[in-house]
Structure 1
């Protein structure tokens, strides 16, 4: 009887302290139960439940473990065995320009030249006197014919237009925009760019890659508040897609807008910003090494372009395009004049990460050669070279990615997207080493 009494007292003491501990546990605002929750923890990759307090996950575990965090005001959601994932990080975005696209004329699903022109006509009527930009068109939707200024001139005599293909590597200017930019039949193609001309040598309105800069320089820069509004629209889209972080390709003006949103408490995802490589010296003089910033905004790396895109037939290949044997694509102006090599070597010395866009096999190869030179000449550090897209690779170059520890920054979306016409552009054989996720893994990349 005495032993029973002592045991009972011990149990009561244990229960008493358990209640104290439970009372001290934070009470969640939100609890998800009965789910298949991917934890990203190799020791315990799947859990049943998760507790959230404010904007923080405070516990992950079994239903019984997590229900201890429930209070009288806790909302409990039954996942009914559905999969729950952490927030996504999109490592290749043009976030601010995407926001501006949401504010501009939408040509993304225009399926005929007539629909293309009609949408621009309607937008011009609703927004008189303002530059019409955006676009996001895809000429493959109506058979592959590139649009011409004549399609839209009669609707836009008093408003300049420059609408880009959705890859951002070519655009259509109307006659007024060409006039404002000073583009005539005598205007030479700039290095790294192409002014498309008709059989009489007249510009059709299509400008590719560096030729687009001739128009961009006369388009008024958006104000800070316009930039902020564009980001807000993009943030709303990001929420719908479960994005909690992005790697953005932007400018110092974009950085200022992100900072302002952060100060206002309105930045709802984390931004890893890549600035133009031309600004490497400014960052180096400030002593900035990447990543630099706080939990919400970081300067992540420097971005450069080595070539164009497959869709615009400006991605740089060793051999001509099957679809147009007269071109192998375009190297960018900074490749042609040597600035890319000079800037990249000096930026790496300053411990600024390099992130270089390369789509064609020749572009990827020349960037790898540049990285090899940097490794030979500069002191070693945790440099984490990136090649954005790494889309079409010559077989000899897979091992070079591994040997140099280059991140092949590839996105499955591009295989779904450009993949629709890849074989038409470059043929079946070169497609065998395109979107090469498996070969990269097999080579240890």
Structure 2
């Protein structure tokens, strides 16, 4: 074991007595880490690192526990997650009755006219998997507008009060890229709105106050600290940017934020960066996020072939794809201006369309280190996997979705298309850079659940104990890299963070068990004992 770091100054914090997985191939393992001024001063043998202990040094003996680089989540809706923590929670409602009861209980606590939002419901948990209807909740919410979304964020249920405020009637046409679900007998809206149709309600929901935004961010930061998340690559609405800036100015940020704003307004970010700069290592504007399609659970992910359980549809193009050709124009212009583009694609046709656009833009704009990303890269045709590698496109994936969707995906698209669904192994073997995250609050923020999902592929219903399409499993080390150094690469920060090396920021986590040594199926029960960001302990398990 070699020692790294010639620095000989007093450390502020020293971690001793652990197994340090550095992520640095030159020195994969270490016994101790010294930290000062928010950065790593030394990594190596305990006796060498002890030389940096002075009278003011805090020494943390981790008693043989595993130390990792801080987790980098490649895809969050972070403020939405904070609001979810503070709103009605329908994620584990097991039947329509429980769904309605929780909304009714929430309505009792609110004054008339105050909206109920949040939700994260999953109708696939319910007997028969019916989509909810406004009639389920209307009796309890006559004067309380409700709009609660499915956990994938691509459809939601509005009650009658919300539909009235939005002006949605049986005569309202479906917007491009969206669907107003209607009763087949009466033609009346059922309350379910998919993708672009959701904006009809979103535009009438009052904007949260600055105080409400700040409280949501604080709740989200506490959640991130609890799970060892030290950096996020966020899907950032423009209304969220001032919230992050306020927290940064007050010194309250305990995660590093790489913010990606909506691609339709890409010029706005270009102008802001030209005026004020992209930011710093705590808060940085990181390019743009666009959409090509919707989600599998909402049958709005775009496929070449129809859905097996809904043969009348092959999914939807997102509204950002209209008018035809606009997405390519925006990506090409943003790329010429030097910005990174990250595009959401779920279905196999959506992924192929994104790769077509990326390939054209690369050819037209010429070579540069652009690191195009596909967010989710969920369902791929076999021939598009080597194409991703050839184009240098990053697969920004969220492995928990595999063990969640895996309960019902075959019913929706058939077994053959599922063979290259969440194709972690095939992508890595082809040479694609794969990074991991959560899509929180669509899925739990906990990276250890993501690692568990990627390594075991055991679906949540317990029906695949050996893994759902087990040939797509990856190793624990590959999954950890996808949550650390490969995540740093995806935001052009691999020289700054993502591994435990001298000079890098001191973002680390200490785990309760060694996930490299225990049976993979036990990883889901492992807990974070300490989270360290910028050399400061921001979370310690009780």
Following superposition, the deviation at residue 343 of structure 1 comes to 1.5
Q: 1:289/1:248 Cα in 2 relative to 1: closer, same or farther (>3 Å)?
A: farther
Query: Which of 208, 211, 233 is the matching residue for 1:222?
Result: 208
Q: Which has the higher contact order (CA 8 A, sep 6+)?
A: 2
1:330 aligns with 2:311: no
Q: Show the counterpart of 2:262.
A: 276
- For structure 2, the 5+ residue unaligned runs are 1-6, 433-542
Q: Show the counterpart of 1:39.
A: 22
Query: Which of 332, 355, 365 is the matching residue for 1:368?
Result: 355
Following superposition, the deviation at residue 345 of structure 1 comes to 2.0
Residue-by-residue CA offset, 1:354-404 (whole Å, 9 max, x unaligned) = 110000000001111111221222243222111100010011211221221
1:320 aligns with 2:306: yes
Bigger CA radius of gyration? 1
Q: State the secondary structure of the residue aligned to 2:165.
A: helix
Following superposition, the deviation at residue 41 of structure 1 comes to 1.7
Residue-by-residue CA offset, 1:278-333 (whole Å, 9 max, x unaligned) = 11122334564999211111111110000001111110000111111111111112
RMSD: 1.9
1:108 aligns with 2:94: no
Of 264-273 and 403-412, more deviation after overlay is shown by 403-412
1:171 aligns with 2:153: no
Q: State the secondary structure of the residue aligned to 1:395.
A: coil
Q: 1:370/1:288 Cα in 2 relative to 1: closer, same or farther (>3 Å)?
A: farther
Could you tell me whether the CA contact under 8 Å between 1:195 and 1:207 is conserved in 2? yes
Of 362-371 and 392-401, more deviation after overlay is shown by 392-401
1:132 aligns with 2:116: yes
Q: Show the counterpart of 2:244.
A: 258
Query: Which of 207, 214, 222 is the matching residue for 1:236?
Result: 222
Could you tell me whether the CA contact under 8 Å between 2:178 and 2:316 is conserved in 1? yes
Q: Show the counterpart of 1:309.
A: 295
Of 66-75 and 180-189, more deviation after overlay is shown by 66-75
- For structure 1, the 5+ residue unaligned runs are 1-23
Measure the CA separation in 2 of the matches of 1:83 and 1:295. Answer: 26
1:392 aligns with 2:379: yes
- The count of corresponding residues between Structure 1 and Structure 2 is 423
Measure the CA separation in 1 of the matches of 2:243 and 2:56. Answer: 37
Query: Which of 177, 182, 202 is the matching residue for 2:167?
Result: 182
Higher helix share: 1
Q: How does 1:40-55 map to 2 (within 5 A)?
A: 40-53=23-36, 55=38
Q: Show the counterpart of 2:413.
A: 426
Measure the CA separation in 2 of the matches of 1:206 and 1:264. Answer: 41
Q: State the secondary structure of the residue aligned to 2:285.
A: strand
Could you tell me whether the CA contact under 8 Å between 2:264 and 2:320 is conserved in 1? no
Q: State the secondary structure of the residue aligned to 1:320.
A: coil
Measure the CA separation in 2 of the matches of 1:291 and 1:38. Answer: 34
Could you tell me whether the CA contact under 8 Å between 1:161 and 1:177 is conserved in 2? yes
Q: State the secondary structure of the residue aligned to 1:219.
A: coil
Residue-by-residue CA offset, 1:157-201 (whole Å, 9 max, x unaligned) = 001000001110000000000011011111111111011111221
Q: How does 1:326-365 map to 2 (within 5 A)?
A: 326-338=312-324, 339-365=326-352
Q: Show the counterpart of 2:134.
A: 149
